[in-house]
Amino acid sequence: MNTSVQKQGGEILRVSDLEMYFPIHGGLISHEIGRVHAVNGVSFGISKAETLSIVGESGCGKSTVGRTIMKLVEPTGGTIVSMGKDITHLSRHEMRRHRRNIQMVFQDPYTSLNPRMMAEEIVAEPIRIHKTMPETEVGQHVASLFDKVGLPRGGMQKFAHEFSGGQRQRIAIARALALSPQLIICDEAVSALDVSIQAQVLNLLMDLQADLGLAYLFITHDLSVVEYLSHRVAVMYLGRIVEIADTKTIFSNPQHPYTKALISVSPLPDPDADRSRRIILSGEVPSPINPPSGCHFRTRCPVVMDICQEEFPQTRKLGDGHKAACHKIVDEVA
Amino acid sequence: MSSGSGEIGDILLSVCDLHVEFQTGSSVVNAVNGVTFDVRNGETLAVLGESGSGKSITFEAILGILDSPPGKVTGGKAVFEGNNLFELSRSQRRAICGNRIGMIFQDPLSALNPVYTAGWQIAEMFRVHRGLSAADANQRAVDLLKLVGMPDAERRAKSYPHEFSGGMRQRLIIAMALAVDPLLVIADEPTTALDVTVEAQILALLKSLQNQNGIGLVIITHSMGVVAEIADRVCVMYAGRIVEIADVRAIFAETAHPYTLGLLNSNPSSMSGDRLTPIVGQPPDLASIPPGCPFHPRCTLAKDKCRTEEPELQQGPSQFHSVACHFFMEVVADREREVSQ
Amino acid sequence: MNGRLVKISEMLRGDFFALSAFIFLIVLLFGATFGPSLIEGSDVSMNLRMRNAPPFQIDNGFGYILGADSLGRPILPRILYGARTTLAISLSVVILSMAFGSTLGIVAGYYGKRFDNIIMRGADLVMSFPSLLLAVIVLYVLKPFVFNVVIVLTITRIPVYVRVARAEVLEVKQRLFVESAFSMGATDFRILRLHITPIILPTLLTVASLDLANVMLAESSLSFLGIGVQPPGITWGLMVADGRNYLTTAWWLSFWPGAAILLTALSANLLSNWMRIVMDPKLSWRLERIRTAKKTRAGATE
């Protein structure tokens, strides 16, 4: 899965300078005393049938990016353009129509399905909300979706708790497919599954992409899954993208110190692998309420310089869609 | 007693034919079904398995912290320092488990009391189990925090658990487990809830502590990566049974059980560019295990014998490598072929 | 649907107390509806010859089996007639307060902000008034008709449902499947109808069944104080009040209606406890286990 991207049919999502901050209230009259910049100037695009992964650790804002694109929360800055239409400031009512293009699969298969609805009702719900087909055809469509995700048709009348974790995730995927979207956002969609089941679901996602031309925004903390599944990778730290490139480049030639550290410490299933050159970062991710001045990563960076404290590093372009935000990198392509 | 600096010594804990039953819904299931293994001084044993494997329940039963209305130990021995833990009275067992065995849980926040400071909780271990005075106990607590790499230890000792981040809390739990100077430490998914950069720190810490004090360490995990990182020996569990047990290199290079092989092939980082070959089917339903080998419904090598006769855990490819599979030689051959490519 | 009824009846058999409570309530309902017409000597008009007749004297006729009151009226039929009124009032209050209270609570919890503030402050206001005092004042001013009694009791019970419904909605609103429905473009009405209400309904029903006992006791207190239902209407509370002066001489006047109140309230509580276990899938295995243990002993196979 290391092929580089060719623009097939154009961009279906373009996010520019996306910003999402949460105000913190305090004091006697509960005025705003601070902000959590969960997402602080994030820009990227996704093309048809492409998988972009956003990878990062806790507090980096990757989940918030997903939820903001889905308009589950209203962005406080920046623009989101979906299928050529600016959806950033649409009202909830106007947004309804556009929701058919982007669907989401959530992390927890145990709470993302209504415990009182049968599997058939869960998968059919998007169709019933948008009334895309007459009620008589819904059953047949749901059955074909069940086939597509590898679930037995007999399961349509069962309740969510009668399925295993992996099967529930398949139900969630079937539901996401119901309206034939262009893009599916997977928010840690396989993180809660056992390894053997995770592999099944990953294969399913890849097959669906080849079959239906789906694009994925894959949000995760697991680098091994990223390498397997994605065309391009964006690495986030404290609300910003610190590096973005196609998969092969990210793993063979990472430029940002954080990316390098992340790749070097990922657990490898090989006891004889060379672990002597690991970069084990000190400390932990700082609080997003009061991030360090200048470059947010400087408190843990093994190659920190004086300028890192004073100035925020601009994004440098390194050619072929590879960008990184670090003072140590010299522009190769202006 | 304890041998430092990475040497592996005598047997600390010897578990023999352990059986644990569980009442779920309207049926009784065998959550642990005949488990036998040893843990030695200075050795890290990884217990690898997915959901339903029984890995956590095994140790909850040994330590006596099993939820007792649904769960019940119905057979077997767990011998620690010459005593069978199941034959001791509750107070005797609590004395041993509190004093000589330390436990690290997966969710640190639920193991910490939110109304006492970190320092107080560690010092409590010294006051209760070692009878130290308050001043001595507090000093030992701070020393221990420094030992586990807690920055600014004196100040941190006065903080409350909720003021710590995930990695710090895990260090705190490790400090509490070490406070009683245990011979054996059991860690249940110690890094699952942590970020990968912090996970690396914690695993390095556990390994260095083991080297310093020569303790026996058991890591219960579902991650092959953690196993490769830190284990000396590996014990693979499936459906309440041990299906393979060997030292870590042998598990990866000379895999002898189809389930272990399947786990390796399901891991994206071990496949370079090829498609994953996941294990087909669902995790086992302990209430309805088929006759014969419990893994046969999902096994690509299953033959008639597998459907009727349950394989015993016996010596496999080498003296210290045991496996419960009728056709392990085929698995070893398959793995060798894969590795050499 | 059929399978579910069978399952529920088996779970009922699994809990002795709940089963007894259930049987008692069924008998009570049957008796209240058909009883008086079936029992001879049910004429509840005054009969001074039978003044304070003691109970358990068969020769007086079955209607007098529990004795007679100070005006010679037979107690057993009066209890059955009284059951109608008491239960009718209590059930009406519970149903009305649950309907209004839950709706307000759902609105407060789901929409939050201003709605939440207004509704919760209103609920606080009602709750901070001692309910009996409120009832006394209102009924004294407005004259104690049955209708007014129901209205007053309903108002005092509404805040409980508001709070419970609001708390439940706040929690359920956060769950992923609600977020998922929102992200699909579902309207608020749809989310409330399909996703939130079915989840919080069991809790509300449990609260309602517990509250039934409270309402019965409140109504009895009002009648006892003389500001509830007036004669010739009959309620258990009134009957207890009437027997006040004869506690040492003719204990049966107050005892039987008092026992009726106690047993009915107790049954409602026991059934509510059972319902809580049944409706929570995580707990209902306790009742199922007993059922299957009996089945296996009988040699049946799963």
**CA trace torsion B67, B72, B76, B78 (10° rounding):** 20
- C109 domain residue, yes or no: yes
DSSP string, A109-122: TTTSS-TTSBHHHH
Q: Which residue of B has its CA nearest to C293?
A: B26
Chain A residues within an 8 Å CB radius of C177:
111-115
pLDDT of residue A66: 93
Q: What is the pLDDT of residue C287?
A: 57
Local confidence band at A194 (pLDDT 50, 70, 90 cut-offs)? confident
Give the model's confidence band at B316: pLDDT under 50 very low, under 70 low, under 90 confident, else very high: confident
Is the pLDDT at A334 greater than 80, yes or no? no
Q: What is the predicted ipTM?
A: 0.81
Q: With CB atoms and an 8 Å threshold, state whether B27 touches C302.
A: yes
Yes or no, beta carbons of C177 and A112 under 8 Å apart:
yes
Higher pLDDT, C202 or A66: A66
Residue A232 has a pLDDT of 94
Q: Is the pLDDT of residue A294 over 80?
A: yes
User: Which stretch of A193-197, B16-20, B44-48, B94-98 has the lowest confidence by average pLDDT?
Assistant: B94-98
Q: Classify B256 as helix, strand or coil.
A: coil
- The chain B residue lying nearest C281, using CA atoms, is B25
What percentage of chain C reaches a pLDDT higher than 70? 86
**Which pLDDT score, from 0 to 100, does residue A244 have?**
94
User: Is residue B79 within a helix (H) or strand (E), and if so which, with residue range?
Assistant: strand B71-80
Cα gap B99→B182, rounded to integer Å: 6
pLDDT digits 0-9 by tens, C242-278? 888 888 888 888 888 889 988 998 888 888 888 777 7
pLDDT (tens digit per residue) in B274-306: 678 888 888 888 888 888 999 999 998 888 999
In a domain, C231, yes or no: yes
Computed from CA positions of residues C43, C49, C52, C54, in that sequence, does the dihedral angle turn out positive or negative?
Answer: negative
| Whole-number Cα distances in Å, A210 to A205, A214, C17, C94, C269 | 9, 8, 60, 58, 59
Which CATH number fits the domain that encloses residue C199? 1.10.3720.10
CB-CB under 8 Å, B228 with A267: yes
Minimum distance, in Å, between the CA of residue B26 and any CA atom of chain C: 5
> Which residues of chain A have a CB within 8 Å of the CB of B243?
none
Instruction: Report yes or no: A76 and A21 within 8 Å, Cβ to Cβ.
Output: yes
The CA–CA distances, whole Å, from A6 to A16, A101, A232, B214, C192 equal 21, 21, 11, 56, 45
Above pLDDT 70, what percent of chain A? Answer: 94
CA Rg value for chain C: 23
Mean pLDDT of B34-63: 90
pLDDT of residue B19: 93
The shortest CB-CB distance from C185 to any of A130, A161, A175 is to A130
The token pair that represents A112 in the structure block: 């993302």
Smallest Cβ–Cβ distance between A268 and the set B167, B228, B262 belongs to B228
Q: Which domains, and CATH codes, for chain B?
A: 11-237 (3.40.50.300), 239-340 (no CATH)
| Chain C CB contacts of A112 below 8 Å | 176-177, 180
Handedness of CA C9, C10, C12, C17 (dihedral sign): positive
Which pairing describes strands B44-48 and B216-221: parallel, antiparallel, or unpaired?
parallel
| Cβ–Cβ gap A196/B223 under 8 Å | no
pTM of the model: 0.82
A194 and B283 within 8 Å at the Cβ level: the answer is: yes
Determine the average pLDDT of the residues in C132-147: 81
Question: Looking at CA atoms only, how far is residue B29 from chain C in angstroms?
Answer: 13
Model confidence at A221: pLDDT above 80:
yes
Q: Summarize pLDDT for B193-220 with one digit per residue, the tens.
A: 788 888 888 888 888 888 888 889 999 9
Measured distance CA(B267)–CA(B265) in Å, rounded: 5
CB C166 within 8 A of CB C108: yes
| Angstroms from A117 CA to nearest CA on chain C | 9
Question: B25: which chain C residues are within 8 Å (Cβ-Cβ)?
Answer: 285, 288-289
Torsion of CA A300, A301, A307, A311, to 10 degrees: -70
Q: Which residue, chain included where needed, has tokens 């002993």?
A: C297
Structural domain contains residue C61: no
DSSP tally for chain A: helices H, then strands E: 10, 12
ω before C232 within 30° of 0 (cis)? yes
**Is 70 exceeded by the pLDDT of residue A204?**
yes
Dump pLDDT digits (tens) for B88-119: 888 888 888 878 888 888 777 777 888 888 88
Yes or no: say if A37 and A288 are a contact pair by the CB < 8 Å rule: yes
Burial of B339 (0-12, 13-18, 19+ CB in 10 A): exposed
Q: What is the mean pLDDT of chain B?
A: 86
Mean pLDDT of chain A: 87
* Pairwise CA distance, residues B116 & B97, whole Å: 23
Please report which confidence band the pLDDT of residue B63 belongs to, taking 50, 70 and 90 as the band edges: confident
> Residue C48 — very low, low, confident or very high, per pLDDT cuts 50/70/90?
confident
B1: pLDDT confidence band, cut at 50, 70 and 90? very low
Give a yes or no: residue C206 inside a domain: yes
| Residue C62, domain member (yes or no) | no
Question: Which residue is associated with the tokens 């509490």?
Answer: B176
Residue A24 has a CB neighbour count (10 Å cut-off) of 11
Q: For chain C, what's the residue count?
A: 302
pLDDT at A201 (0 to 100): 92
Mean of all residue pLDDT scores within chain C: 81
Helix (H, G, I), strand (E, B) or coil at A324: strand
Q: How many domains, chain C?
A: 1
Q: What Å distances lie between residue B44 and A30, A96, A156, A235, B18, CA to CA?
A: 52, 55, 46, 34, 21
CA distance C116 to chain A (A): 18
User: How many other β-carbons are positioned within 10 Å of the β-carbon of residue C45?
Assistant: 8
Write the CB contacts of C282 (distance below 8 Å, at least 6 apart in sequence).
none
User: How far apart, in whole angstroms, are the C-alpha atoms of residue C110 and residue C182?
Assistant: 13
Provide the greatest CA pair distance for chain A.
68
**How distant is the Cα of B28 from the closest Cα of chain C, in angstroms?**
10
Sign of CA dihedral B70, B72, B74, B79: positive
pLDDT score, position A328: 83
Q: Could you give the percent of chain C with pLDDT greater than 90?
A: 18
Kindly determine whether residue C186 and residue A125, on different chains, have CB atoms separated by under 8 Å. Answer: yes
pLDDT of B52 strictly over 50: yes
- A267 and B225 within 8 Å at the Cβ level: the answer is yes
Name the pLDDT band for C283 (thresholds 50, 70, 90). low
- CB–CB contact C285 B25 (8 Å): yes
Q: Do C289 and B26 touch (CB under 8 A)?
A: yes
Instruction: Identify the residue among B51, B165, B195 best suited for mutation to test binding to A, counting A beta carbons within 10 A and taking the highest.
Output: B195
Q: Which amino acid is at B234?
A: V
Nearest-by-CA chain C residue for A97? C185
Confidence band of B148 (pLDDT split at 50, 70, 90): confident
| Closest residue in chain A to residue B196, using alpha carbons only | A266
Chain C nearest C-alpha distance from A197 (Å): 21
Contact A111 C190 (CB under 8 A): no
The nearest CA of chain C is from the CA of A22 a distance in Å of: 17
Whether residue C36 is contained in a domain is answered as: no
Mention every residue, 6+ apart, whose C-beta is less than 8 A from residue B130: B137, B180
Amino acid C257 reads P
Among candidates B223, B268, B283 on the partner chain, residue whose Cβ is nearest the Cβ of A164: B283
C179/A146 Cα distance (integer angstroms): 23
Two tokens at C37?
């017409």
Q: What is the pLDDT of residue C295?
A: 46
pLDDT for C33: 83
**What residue of A is the nearest CA neighbor of C174?**
A111
Q: Is B14 on the interface with A (CB under 8 A)?
A: no
> How many Å apart are CA B188 and CA A334, to the nearest integer?
51
Residue of B nearest to A60 (CA): B195
Contact B27 C285 (CB under 8 A): no
CB-facing half-sphere around the CA of B298: CA atoms within 13 A: 24
**Residue A112 at interface with chain C, using a CB cutoff of 8 Å:** yes
Q: How far is the first Cα of chain C from the last one, in angstroms, to the nearest whole number?
A: 21
Range of the domain at C152: 2-30+68-297
Query: Are A196 and B51 within 8 A, CB to CB?
Result: no
pLDDT at C246: 85
The answer to whether the beta carbons of residues B332 and B256 sit under 8 Å apart is yes
Residue with tokens 């210290």: B320
User: Is B252 in CB contact (< 8 Å) with chain A?
Assistant: yes
A200–B278 C-beta distance less than 8 A? yes
Closest chain B C-alpha to C288 CA, distance in angstroms: 6
**pLDDT, position B273:** 58
- Give the per-residue pLDDT at C121: 92
Predicted pLDDT of residue C101: 95
The pLDDT assigned to C280 comes to 65
A111:C185 CB<8 A? no
User: Quick check: A18 pLDDT over 90?
Assistant: yes
pLDDT tier for residue A224 given thresholds of 50, 70 and 90: confident
How far is residue C273's CA from residue C267's CA, in Å, rounded to a whole number? Answer: 10
What pLDDT is attached to residue C213?
Answer: 83
Kindly give the residue spans of alpha helices, DSSP state H, lying in C112-196: 113-128, 131-142, 146-173, 176-183, 188-190
Kind plus residue range of the DSSP H or E element containing B316 = strand B314-318
Give the bridge partners for A244, in sequence order. Answer: A234, A323
Pairing of strands A323-324, B314-318: unpaired
Tell me the chain C residues in contact with residue A191 when contact means C-beta distances shorter than 8 Å: none
pLDDT of residue B6: 55
Taking residue B68's Cβ as centre, other Cβ atoms within 10 Å add up to 9
The answer to whether residue C46 is domain-embedded is no
Do residue C285 and residue B26 have CB atoms under 8 angstroms apart?
yes
Q: Kindly report, residue by residue over C210-249, the tens digit of the pLDDT.
A: 888 888 888 888 888 888 887 778 888 888 888 888 888 8
> What pLDDT, on the 0 to 100 scale, is given for residue B294?
92
CB contact set of C298 (below 8 Å; sequence gap of 6+) = none
Q: Which of B168, B276, B280, B299 to mutate to test the interface with A (most CBs of A within 10 A)?
A: B276
Decide if B23 and C289 are in contact by the 8 Å CB cutoff. yes
Q: Give the residue, B105 or A132, on which the prediction is more confident.
A: A132
pLDDT score at C10: 74
pLDDT band at C291 (very low <50, low <70, confident <90, very high): very low
CA angle C283, C289, C291 (to 5 degrees): 120
Residues of chain B found within 8 Å of residue A228, distances taken between Cβ atoms? 268, 271, 276
Select the residue of C177, C185, C194 nearest A113 (Cβ to Cβ).
C177
